[in-house]
Structure formats: C-alpha cells, structure tokens
Amino acid sequence: PKTDIVFLKVHKSASSTVMNVLFRFGETHNLTFAFPIGGGNQLFYPHHFLAKFVQGFSPQSPKQFNILCHHMRFLQPEVEKVVSSSAVYFSILRNPVQLMESSFAYYKGTSAFSHAHSLEEFLSQPFRFYNPADGDSHYARNLMTFDFGFNPDGEVSAKRVQLILNAIEAAFDLLLISEYFDESMVLLKEVLCWDLDSVVSFPLNIRDSSTKSHLSDTIVEKIKEWNKLDWEIYTYFNRTFWERIDRDIGRERMQQEVKVLRERQAELARTCLQGMGSVAPKDIKDSSLRPLQHGNARILGYNLKQGLDKETELMCRRLVTPELQYSSALYKKQFP
C-alpha cells in the first residue's frame, strides 16, 4: 500500500469525505500528517502553500511527512519540500455548476455573495458584487482554478487553458470526479493499492437538500460562462477519468467493484448508524459528532448506534467524525 500522499482538497467537492478516508488510513497505519502550524484546518489558505506553514518542518532538517491533505492553494515546489518524491498526488473535481450553487449557500458571508439576494441576482450582474481585489473573492469565481494555484481572473484563451491543463496533468497522478464518487474510490483504491475497507465512507459535510436551489437552464449557462476556466478543467478531466477507467479497470469490472463497495457501505451503515442515514444538526445527540455549520447551509451528521463493542464503536466513530474534530484529535496525537 502507498503511504505517501498529497491530496489537494478542492472546496465543496466531496473533499471532506475523501479527507476522512485519508485520516482513517493514516491513523490506523501510524502515518504522519503535514498539519498547519498550531493545528487548524487550513494551510494559511488562500495564500499559496509554503513548506514553512507545516508544523514541525524546518529547512535545516527537512522531515518528510506521509500525508498532506489540509486545505491549501497548490504550489508544487513548496509541496515537494515536505513529502517524499515518490508521493502520489491526487485531487477531486466537481461540476462547476453544482460547485457554484453550493459555494453561494456555504460562503454567503463573503464579500461577493453577501449583498446578492440570490445566485440569479449575482449572475445577472456579477461585477456589481464581485471585486477581484477582495481577499475572499476566489470563493465566487473559478474556485477550482484558484485552489490549483492559478489566477481565476486570467484570460480564457485556448492557449492558457491548455497550459493550465498541462500543468495539472504534470503535477497530479489522479484526478477524481465527485459526481462519480464510488467509481473514484475504486480508482483510488487501485492506484494506492489499498483494501476495500480503507476507501469505504459515509458522506460528510453534506447539505440538507432543503437548502439546495433548483437551477434553470439559463442560470446553468451563466454559471459555466462565469466559471469558464473551471468548466474547461472539469470537462477535460472528466473525460480522462473515464479513459483511465477504460484503460486500467474496464467498465464491467468497475461496475462489480462499485457494487461491492456499496454493499459494504450499506453493511457498515446497518452496523454503525441509528436509522441508517444522516440527520439534521439539531438531531445529532453526541455533540462531538456535530459538524461545523456554515453560511446558509444546513450540514448533516450522524448518530451512532448504542451498545456497540469497543472495537466496532471506534471503527464506526472514525467513519462519522467531522473533519475539524478528527483533524484536531490527530493533531493532538501527533504533537502531544
């Protein structure tokens, strides 16, 4: 199994669920994480990543960390200072249309979104609300482009798009697609040589559907236009994702693997969860399992079954622990 990993955690793209997979694997295999100085969950985002942001890094005696997965703005030469040269680099992308709808709810408090009553209003005259000079403007336009380290307001010429795609492709071994999450986990399992239970997960940091808004065709087109760079990145890597599946696994085996993964997930839900699924924040009985609530989004969580034996309880708890709580527990373990 591969133990040296860089995961670029792109915002609002099922990346908290992927992070849980990495946290669990790292914890059970005693691996070291590249934590932000002083803990926390972001490596001084939205600044470009620097090695000195990592707790325990020193240029005099560069220590290699196994897993780098906290929010950062990607800068490869700096990342290479904290992980082994054989590390596997991967990230996950999401359709920019759903990504923008999600960001609008989640980052409602940011300068670009706070004065727009609706996403529709924002998109009707984006520059009335959006100022690229604002420190938090990246949440409102080409967020994936930004997270990968590029300028989200740069020109959208065929040449520049090609340069961005080439740079991402050169840096990353694997780009997953959140709309095909189960297929993505199967592919990840293959690339990392992990077992099935290592990539099984319950969806984390997801919104209650009542806070999701329906998007008309007109809005969809406006979102694509406004996030043109993200759209180019997404459509290109969605295509290479399926090409990779065809080349390395084949559709038929992929279907079987996904089926096995889903069966195992359902089995774990029966074992671990009260009522099989996620619940509203107010219904989460154990406050340590309550996810951070943000913006206008209602973030769901889980209740564990009572009376589980110790080992099962621990396994189940790891599966449903929200990112911030899990991160801080691992940080305390690594830096007692």
Answer whether residue 209 shows pLDDT above 90: no
pLDDT at 116 over 80: yes
Contact of 320 with 302, CB cutoff 8 Å: yes
Q: Which domain holds residue 93?
A: 5-334
**Residue 198 pLDDT more than 80?**
yes
Start-to-end CA span in the chain (Å): 27
Tell whether the model's pLDDT for residue 63 goes beyond 90: no
d(CA 311, CA 314): 5
Q: In the predicted model, what is the mean pLDDT of residues 143-169? A: 98
What is the structure's pLDDT at 275? 86
Span 184-195, pLDDT tens digits:
999 999 999 999
Helix axes 228-248 and 158-171, enclosed angle (nearest 10): 50
pLDDT band at 210, cuts 50/70/90? Answer: confident
Amino acid 194: pLDDT: 98
Return the pLDDT at 138.
97
Has residue 139 got a pLDDT over 90?
Answer: yes
Q: Quick one: average pLDDT of 321-327?
A: 96
Mean pLDDT of the chain: 96
The average pLDDT across 77-91 equals 97
pLDDT score of 40: 87
Average pLDDT over residues 174-185: 98
- For residue 248, the domain's CATH number is 3.40.50
What pLDDT sits at residue 103? 96
Nearest to 276, CA basis, from 251, 255, 256, 303: 303
**pLDDT reported for residue 61:** 78
pLDDT for res 62: 76
User: Regarding predicted confidence, which is higher, 152 or 210?
Assistant: 152
Q: Tens digit of pLDDT for each residue in 264-307?
A: 999 999 999 998 689 999 999 999 999 999 888 889 999 999 99
- Judged against a pLDDT cut of 90, whether residue 259 lies above it is answered with yes
> Is the pLDDT score of 212 beyond 90?
no
For the ranges 142-146, 202-206, 243-247, which has the lowest average pLDDT? 202-206
Q: Can you give the pLDDT at residue 220?
A: 98
Domain count for the chain, please give it: 1
Which has the higher per-residue pLDDT, 88 or 211?
88
SS (H, E, C) 181-248: HHHHHHHHHHHHCCCHHHHCCCCCCCECHHHCCCCCHHHHHHHHHHCHHHHHHHHHHHHHHHHHHHHH
Residues 6+ apart with CB under 8 A from 122: 104, 112, 113, 116, 129, 130, 140
Predicted local confidence at residue 189, as pLDDT: 98
